[in-house]
Amino acid sequence: MTKKRNLLIILAVSVSIVIGGFVFMKNFNNDTINAENSSPEGIAQNVIDAENSSPEGTALKVIDEATTVPEVVLPTKSPDYLKSSELILNGISGGMTREQLVEKLGQPKSIEDFYKGLSAMPLFIYEYDNIICDFEQRVEQGEYFINSIMIKGNVSQTPRNIQVGDNFKDVLNKFPQEKDYRTNENGIFYGTMEYHGVNYGYIYYEDKNPAISVSSEKSSEFIKIYFNNGIVREILICFAPK
């Protein structure tokens, strides 16, 4: 009887030790977790978890996931000032002779010669399907060179790809817009108009139709665009003496 009672006592003590150990480990783990949560890193994480679990936090999370980086739209670069090197048409430029033009384009549809004012030197006009070339003689060289080209129809490789049939606004936007031609007393939209000035563009009117004139860095090399009811009718390219 005494042995049986001793066994029961030993069993009860063993169970108590096991239960006590389990409780101790549980409390130890909870204390460890609480200690981690009380550290700066743990506190920060608890704040984040609390925010994310709140209605506002959930909403912000949804917004962040749905937000995309907006496309960056760069400002449109203003067109450059007109350069004399742009005044080329189908490979034709100032300084070409009549022979060089015929070699490039073939024989013209017609050739006219006439005298300009009191000058004893005749001018020659070579007419092709969509262009007319004007030749003047340079006394010091004794040869005729292209003085200007009038474009009357669609051709390739025009300055700034301006074509007969283009509208006024599109053509104007191919040049810098530094001033409002509508309020400028000389109709200037870029540069400064001076006697034999260079690098400027302005608008004037012929029979109530606008015309755009743009000078290059060489005062005698420029382009004029003539309009009829807001549509390009003719384009004149003038060259400097060679």
Percent of the chain at pLDDT > 70 equals 62
Distance CA 102, CA 169 (A): 35
Residues 89-120: tens digit of each pLDDT = 988 988 899 999 999 999 999 999 877 655 55
Confidence of residue 231 (pLDDT cuts 50, 70, 90): very high
Residues 122-147: tens digit of each pLDDT = 789 999 999 999 998 876 667 889 99
Whether residue 75 is predicted with pLDDT greater than 90 in this model: the reply is: no
Q: β-strands 222-228, 200-206: how paired? A: unpaired
Question: In this structure, is residue 73 part of a structural domain?
Answer: no
* Residues 86, 89, 95, 98, Cα dihedral to 10°: 180
Question: In this structure, is residue 75 part of a structural domain?
Answer: no
Confidence of residue 7 (pLDDT cuts 50, 70, 90): very low
Whether residue 24 is predicted with pLDDT greater than 60 in this model: the reply is: no
Whether residue 60 is predicted with pLDDT greater than 90 in this model: the reply is: no
Name the domain count of the chain: 2
| pLDDT of the residue at 53 | 53
Whether residue 177 is predicted with pLDDT greater than 90 in this model: the reply is: yes
Distance CA 66, CA 234 (A): 54
Say whether pTM exceeds 0.85.
no
CA distances in angstroms from 188 to 108, 176, 194, listed in the order given: 37, 11, 11
Whether 136 and 191 share a structural domain: yes
Whether 93 and 195 share a structural domain: yes
Whether 50 and 166 share a structural domain: no
Whether 24 and 51 share a structural domain: yes
Question: In this structure, is residue 196 part of a structural domain?
Answer: yes
Question: In this structure, is residue 77 part of a structural domain?
Answer: no
Which has more confidence, 104 or 26?
104
| pLDDT of the residue at 115 | 72
* Residues 107, 108, 112, 117, Cα dihedral to 10°: -110
Whether 160 and 213 share a structural domain: yes
Whether residue 30 is predicted with pLDDT greater than 70 in this model: the reply is: no
Whether 94 and 174 share a structural domain: yes
Question: In this structure, is residue 164 part of a structural domain?
Answer: yes
Question: In this structure, is residue 6 part of a structural domain?
Answer: yes
Positive/negative CA dihedral, 75, 76, 82, 88: positive
Whether 92 and 202 share a structural domain: yes
Range of the domain at 12: 2-66
| pLDDT of the residue at 49 | 54
Whether 17 and 94 share a structural domain: no
Whether 89 and 181 share a structural domain: yes
Question: In this structure, is residue 187 part of a structural domain?
Answer: yes
Q: How confident is the prediction for the chain on average, in pLDDT?
A: 76
Whether 44 and 101 share a structural domain: no
- Local structure of 164: helix, strand or coil: coil
Distance CA 216, CA 175 (A): 11
Question: In this structure, is residue 74 part of a structural domain?
Answer: no
Whether 211 and 132 share a structural domain: yes
**In what order do the strands lie in the sheet containing 222-228?**
110-115, 122-127, 131-138, 143-151, 231-238, 222-228, 209-215, 200-206, 188-190
Distance CA 122, CA 109 (A): 19
Whether 175 and 100 share a structural domain: yes
Whether residue 2 is predicted with pLDDT greater than 60 in this model: the reply is: no
